[in-house]
C-alpha cells in the first residue's frame, strides 16, 4: 500500500510511521506542517528508508494537498494531524478550530476529489482513516461505565469539541459522498517521543531537574493509558482490516488516577536514578497540587472489545511494562528531549526528511 500519514511528525503519527516502515512493506508519505509539536527528529530512524518520504504541508492548504495526492497516488490516508493539548485549547481555541475542523474539511475535500477519479476497484479499496480521541465522549460518571462506539458525544473542552466536529465531518462525507471512511477513538497515549508538555514526560523531566511535579486538583482524575506503539499497531490493523463506516475504540485496559501515574514514575526514578537532585530525598516529595483546569473531566475509560473481537488487536504492554519502557527511554534519549525543551530542534529541519 501507499499511505499518506498526516501529522506524521507528531507523537502518535511518528509512531505510526515508524511501525509501517519497520514492520510492513508499505510506502508512506508523511505530511506535517511542523508546528511546535511536529518534530522530524522523531522520524530520524526511518528517514533514509526508500519507502519513506516527507513533505512540509499544512492540511488547510488545498492547493498543496491536491498536488500531493496527484503526485503520490495514495491507497489510504491516515489522518492524525491535529492540535491536541487541552490546556492550549483553553488559552487559544482558534488554532484548534482551524486545524481540527477546517483542516479536516479541507483534507476530506482533497481526498474526495482524488478518490472520485479512481477506477472502480481502486475506489472500493481506498480508505480514509480518521484518528480521534475518547475525549469527544465527555465525562464518565459511574465507576464501572465504559465508552463504547455508540456512546453519545459530550465534549468538554475546545479541543474535544473540535475533534468531535471533525468526527462528524468524516462520517458526513461517507454518508453524503460515499467516501470510504473509518473512525477510531483512542484513550490517553504515552511512550517514547512524547512532547514534554504532556503529563508523563513532564513529570519525568521535572523530577530529573528537581522541579515541582504539578498535579491538577487532588489528582483523582482517571484515564485509560495506552502505550503508543500498541496504538500504532491498532491503527495499522484498522486501516488494513477495518470495515468502512465503522468506528473502533482503542484503549489500553490501564485505568489509573493521575496521582497514581505520578507516584509510579517517582518510584521508577527512585530505582533507576538513585542519585537525586540536591535536596531531594525521594521524588514523591516534589509532588505539588495545583488549581484544577476549567471543565476538567474526571474519568475516561474505553471498552475496546470491538477491535479485539472483530480485528484481533490487543495491547501488548501493561501499564507497568509500558511506563518502565517510557521512563527508561527518556533516561537514554536526553539529546532528543533536551533539543525539544530548548527549541533547537525547530530550527534544524534539513537532512531529516528523507
Task: Check: CB of residue 2 under 8 Å from CB of residue 30.
Answer: no
Cell of residue 65, nine digits: 494537498
Active-site choice (32, 58, 64, 135): 135
Active-site choice (41, 58, 64, 134): 134
Residues 242 and 82: their CA atoms lie apart, in Å, by 22
b/e code 217-246 from CB counts within 10 Å (16+ = b): eebebbbbbbbbbbbbbbbbbbbeebeeeb
Residues 225 and 189: their CA atoms lie apart, in Å, by 6
134 is catalytic: yes
Task: Check: CB of residue 339 under 8 Å from CB of residue 41.
Answer: yes
Q: Is the dihedral of CA 334, 337, 343, 349 positive or negative?
A: positive
Cell of residue 62, nine digits: 488545498
Residues 305 and 299: their CA atoms lie apart, in Å, by 19
Residues 101 and 255: their CA atoms lie apart, in Å, by 30
Residue with cell 494537498: 65
193 is catalytic: no
135 is catalytic: yes
b/e code 3-35 from CB counts within 10 Å (16+ = b): bbbbbbbbbbbbbbbbbbbeeeebbbbbbbbbe
Q: Reduce the secondary structure of 65-126 to three states and give it as a string.
A: HHHHHHHHCCCEEEECCCCCCHHHHHHCCHHHHHHHHHHHHHHHHHHHHHHHCCCHHHHHHC
Residues 341 and 146: their CA atoms lie apart, in Å, by 36
- As annotated, the active-site residues are 134-135, 159
Amino acid at each position: 500500500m501507499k499511505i499518506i500519514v498526516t501529522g506524521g511528525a507528531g507523537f502518535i503519527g511518528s509512531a505510526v510511521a515508524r511501525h509501517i516502515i519497520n514492520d510492513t512493506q508499505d510506502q508512506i508519505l508523511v505530511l506535517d506542517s511542523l508546528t511546535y509539536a511536529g518534530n522530524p527528529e522523531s522520524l530520524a530512524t526511518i528517514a533514509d528508508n526508500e519507502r519513506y518520504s516527507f513533505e512540509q504541508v499544512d492540511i488547510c492548504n488545498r492547493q498543496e494537498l491536491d498536488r500531493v495526492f496527484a503526485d503520490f497516488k495514495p491507497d489510504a490516508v491516515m489522518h492524525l494531524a491535529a492540535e491536541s493539548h487541552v490546556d492550549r485549547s483553553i488559552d487559544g481555541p482558534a488554532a484548534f478550530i482551524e486545524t481540527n475542523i477546517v483542516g479536516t474539511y479541507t483534507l476530506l475535500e482533497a481526498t474526495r476529489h482524488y478518490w472520485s477519479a479512481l477506477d472502480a476497484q481502486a475506489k472500493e479499496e481506498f480508505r480514509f482513516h480518521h484518528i480521534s480521541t475518547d475525549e469527544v465522549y465527555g465525562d464518565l460518571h459511574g465507576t464501572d461505565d465504559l465508552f463504547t462506539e455508540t456512546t453519545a458525544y459530550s465534549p468538554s473542552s475546545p479541543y474535544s469539541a473540535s475533534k468531535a466536529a471533525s468526527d462528524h465531518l468524516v462520517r458526513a462525507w461517507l454518508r453524503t459522498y460515499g467516501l470510504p471512511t473509518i473512525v477510531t477513538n483512542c484513550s490517553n497515549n504515552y511512550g517514547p517521543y512524547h512532547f514534554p508538555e504532556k503529563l508523563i514526560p513532564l513529570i519525568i523531566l521535572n523530577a530529573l531537574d528537581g522541579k515541582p511535579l504539578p498535579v491538577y486538583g487532588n489528582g483523582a482524575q482517571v484515564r485509560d493509558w495506552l502505550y503508543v506503539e500498541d496504538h500504532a499497531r491498532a491503527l495499522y490493523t484498522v486501516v488494513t482490516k477495518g470495515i468502512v463506516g465503522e468506528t473502533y475504540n482503542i484503549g489500553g485496559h490501564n485505568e489509573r488516577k493521575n496521582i497514581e501515574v505520578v507516584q509510579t514514575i517517582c518510584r521508577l526514578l527512585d530505582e533507576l536514578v538513585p542519585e537525586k537532585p540536591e535536596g531531594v530525598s525521594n521524588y514523591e516529595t516534589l509532588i505539588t497540587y495545583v488549581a484544577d483546569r476549567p471543565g476538567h473531566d474526571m474519568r475516561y475509560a474505553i471498552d475496546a472489545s470491538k477491535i479485539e473481537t472483530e480485528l484481533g488487536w490487543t495491547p501488548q504492554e501493561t501499564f507497568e511494562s509500558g511506563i518502565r519502557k517510557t521512563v527508561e527511554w527518556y533516561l537514554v534519549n536526553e539529546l532528543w528531549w533536551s533539543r525539544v525543551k530548548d527549541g533547537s530542534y525547530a530550527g534544524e529541519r534539513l537532512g531529516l526528511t528523507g
